[in-house]
Amino acid sequence: MPEPHAIRTGQELIWDYFQNKAPESFDGSRARLQHLMKSIGRPHVVLNIGCGSGIFEKLALAEGIDIYSLDPSEKSVQKLRQTLQLGDKAKVGYIQSIPFPESHFDIVVVSEVLEHLTPEVMTQGLAEIRRVLKPGGRVLGTVPSRENLEDQIVVCPCCGKRFHRWGHEQTFEPEKLRRALCDYFVSARTSARPFIAWSALNWKGKIVSAIKFLVCILGVHGSNQHVVFEAVKPQPVVAGPG
């Protein structure tokens, strides 16, 4: 019986390629990850699920955060171990079976991950995040907002299989995600907003993006935004005097 991470799915092959052969694909995620970093503070013990090209890990180390990382890609994890000296703090694994002990982390970050999971796997993953968080610990993250999955469907020219080009399985809006979080956490908060990589835009792109940001502030939401979420692991119930 092979280890779970030895079983390669189509989605894992997609992400193994982007994380190791085209890491520049993640350059646009910096604004989103910096926003999450501002919500963390320090000192904290933090687990990042889904390492991408390692941008979040680098930001965390620069802030003096005790960062751990989990990803299905052995190549990506090995790269983190070598370039950032994370050692066993970077592990190969899956959100539905997190290979870290119970109540170990102050914060778990899961950004642009839940949309890649089926509803069943997502519920398993949320239960696992709750398990590895300390009581009162927080889960932070993002997902694409109101994505039309059909817009990103492509067809394999070899076998004819239709699939989402980024491997997305679900689409979310803030209230749907808040309800899912409330099954495992308390004080769940969700909101939709854009994240803009200003430094990568020309002046026309900056004008268009500024208009989109203003429209969002005015309460008009659509595609090309993200749902930002935060929730808390409940404190244990202390029995009163008998």
Q: Which residues contact 174 (CB under 8 A, 6 or more apart)?
A: 145, 190, 191, 192, 227, 229
pTM of the model: 0.82
Contact 71, 63 (CB under 8 A): no
- Convert the pLDDT of each residue in 141-152 to its tens digit: 999 999 998 888
| Per-residue pLDDT at 191 | 93
pLDDT at 225 over 80: yes
- At the topology level, CATH places domain 4-194+225-232 in Rossmann fold (3.40.50)
- Convert the pLDDT of each residue in 84-136 to its tens digit: 999 999 999 999 999 999 999 999 999 999 999 999 999 999 999 999 999 99
Helices (H), 116-173: 119-132
Per-residue tokens: 113: 């991950």
pLDDT at 7 over 70: no
Closest CA to 192 of 215, 216, 218: 216
- Residue 211 — very low, low, confident or very high, per pLDDT cuts 50/70/90? low
**DSSP code per residue over 14-32:** HHHHHHHT-GGGGGGGHHH
| Per-residue pLDDT at 3 | 41
Lowest mean pLDDT among 48-57, 100-109, 155-164: 155-164
- Count, in order, helices (H) and strands (E) of the chain: 7, 9
Output the average pLDDT for the chain: 84
